[in-house]
């Protein structure tokens, strides 16, 4: 998939129309993204993971949730402390 829009640092819209909220601790990985960046969306099945999906590119893996959802503050704080 390709990036259709990434005007907000924490939201990305893909060329399939889906919109994803990027995990705060992974924003640095997205700095090199451009419209030609190839992304693969994969589901995350680990129960202890804070996100439901990940976007994988050559630059690395970015944890995401649907853009309509919000990150649970407590889980984000825990994940940022661990990482």
Structure confidence by residue, pLDDT tens digits, 47-82: 667 888 999 999 999 999 999 998 887 666 676 666
Residue spans of beta strands (DSSP E) within the chain: 3-5, 11-14, 19-22, 40-43, 53-57, 60-66
CA 8 to chain centre: 12
DSSP state of 81: H
> What pLDDT sits at residue 80?
66
Is pLDDT larger for residue 21 or for residue 8?
21
How far is it, in rounded angstroms, from Cα 26 to Cα 2?
18
Instruction: Name the token pair of 42.
Output: 């994969």
pTM: 0.84
For position 14, what pLDDT does the model report?
96
What confidence score (pLDDT) does residue 47 get? 66
pLDDT tens for 25-46 read 899 999 889 889 999 999 998 7
């Amino acid at each position: 998939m390709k990036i259709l829009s990434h005007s907000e640092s924490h939201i990305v819209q893909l060329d399939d129309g889906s919109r994803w909220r990027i995990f705060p601790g992974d924003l640095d990985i997205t700095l090199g993204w451009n419209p030609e960046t190839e992304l693969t969306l994969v589901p995350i099945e680990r129960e202890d993971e804070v996100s439901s999906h990940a976007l994988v590119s050559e630059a690395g893996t970015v944890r995401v949730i649907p853009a309509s959802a919000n990150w649970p503050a407590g889980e984000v704080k825990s994940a940022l402390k661990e990482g």
